[in-house]
Structure 1
Amino acid sequence: MLRVTNLNAWYGASHVLQDVSVDVARGEIVCLIGRNGAGKTTTLKSIMGLMDRTNGSVSFKGKELLKQPAHLRFQLGLAYVPEERRIVQGLSVRENLRLGLVASPERRREAELIEDIARIFPRLAERMNQEAVTMSGGEQQMLAIARALIAKPDLIMLDEPTEGIMPVLVDEMLDLLVAMKAQGTTVLLVEQNVELALGIADRAYVLDHGAVVHQSSARELLADEEVKERYCSV
């Protein structure tokens, strides 16, 4: 579904991604892991079209995206949930969800799609009229994911979905990702908690200093203490 080939990206004069290549097949959960600053978030932003300068190739469902703006990538079925969530202050949970449909061809089905989301996220269903920023951090993270899912993307990219949330909600979040996969959504995941990520992923790529240094099945990497210690330990 997604093929990233020799992707390079820059922040000003700083060359931060160096020939990154990643494949994600339909129905997979693939995780990008590595230390802070390894290039994981920059990879997601580059795939989504949120970097000022990139080169290489990003092919999604057979279409080359690298020259396309972010909103057209979204309309093709690619969604991105950034680490900072970007919940809009002053808006209710329902109103934040509606923002996920503004640029979507699915927006005419708004009421039906919100009902679907309410079934997937029962915590949000109880809080539809609550101001979104008054919820807990974990509930806000669920809202950010729900807002991306409401438009029925084919692939969703998640940046650190378990960061800063209560341990009691971490298991819920992981169960949600597994359920998303079961319902046909493909996931590209950046997650600092390596053990948890590898426990639900199919495959993994390890980044270091803006380059892919290792790739394998998640099960193989989970058992490879040397690679985890070298590239993933804090």
Structure 2
Amino acid sequence: MLKIANLSAWYGHSHILQDISLEVKRGEIVTLIGRNGAGKTTTLRSIMGLVPKRQGSVVFDGEEILAEPAHKRFHRGLAYVPEERRIVPGLSVLENLRLGIIGSANRSKENERIDLIAETFPRLKQRLGQEAITMSGGEQQMLAIARAMMAEPQMILLDEPSEGIMPILVDEMFELFRNMKTAGTTIMLVEQNVELALGISDRAYIMDQGEIVYHDTATALLADKAMQERYCAV
């Protein structure tokens, strides 16, 4: 589904990603972990086309997309949920959901998708008319994920979905990710909760100082406490 080769990225003169290579197979959950500042968010933003200066190769569903703008990647079926959620103040939960399908080839399915989202996220179903910004942080995170799901993406990039969220909502969220995978959505996950992320993942990569320093199955990394302590400060 996704293959990155020798990808570098810069913010101004700062060389953040340094020739990284990784892949995500169709139907997998792959976790990217590492300390703060390792380059994980920049990797997701580069995949989505949100870092202006980059070079290398990003192949999505068999097509090279490195030079494409973010909206064209969205039309190909790639979705991104940023760490800061980007809920739109002043709009209701329902209106925020509708933003997720504008410009999509699935726009004609808007009502059908809203019904499905409402069943998938019972908390949001109860709050469709509520101003989204007044919800709890966990509920806003669920809304950000639900909004990304509105257009039926083939693959979704999730940046720190559990940050600042109550444990009970985190458990619900990660169960949702398992269900998304079962339904056929491919997921690339950046997450600081290493054990929880590895528990639902197929494979994992570790980043350190803008480079990929480790790759193995999630089960192998879960058992390798020394590697976790070395690169993830667990």
**TM-score interval, smaller chain:** over 0.9
Q: Which residue of 1 aligns with 2:197?
A: 197
- Gap regions ≥5 residues in structure 2: none
Counterpart CA distance in 2 for 1:200 and 1:52 is 32
Counterpart CA distance in 1 for 2:197 and 2:116 is 26
Q: Which residue of 2 aligns with 1:104?
A: 104
Backbone CA RMSD of aligned residues = 0.6
Q: Which residue of 1 aligns with 2:184?
A: 184
User: Deviations for 1:105-148, whole angstroms, at most 9, x for unmatched residues?
Assistant: 11121111100111111111111000001111000000000000
Q: Which residue of 2 aligns with 1:167?
A: 167
User: Deviations for 1:57-103, whole angstroms, at most 9, x for unmatched residues?
Assistant: 00000000000000000000000000000000000000000000112
Counterpart CA distance in 1 for 2:5 and 2:127 is 42
**Aligned: 1:230 with 2:225:** no
Counterpart CA distance in 2 for 1:180 and 1:124 is 17
Q: Which residue of 2 aligns with 1:19?
A: 19
Q: Which amino acid aligns with 2:223?
A: A
Q: Could you state the TM-score of these two structures normalised by the residue count of structure 2?
A: 0.99
Q: Which residue of 2 aligns with 1:88?
A: 88
Counterpart CA distance in 1 for 2:157 and 2:151 is 14
Counterpart CA distance in 1 for 2:158 and 2:210 is 18
User: Deviations for 1:22-48, whole angstroms, at most 9, x for unmatched residues?
Assistant: 100011000000000000000000000
Q: CA deviation at 1:214?
A: 0.2
Counterpart CA distance in 2 for 1:142 and 1:186 is 18
User: Secondary structure of 1:114's partner?
Assistant: helix
Q: Which residue of 1 aligns with 2:30?
A: 30
Q: CA deviation at 1:190?
A: 0.1
Q: Which residue of 2 aligns with 1:155?
A: 155
Aligned residues: 234
Q: CA deviation at 1:167?
A: 1.1
Identity %: 66
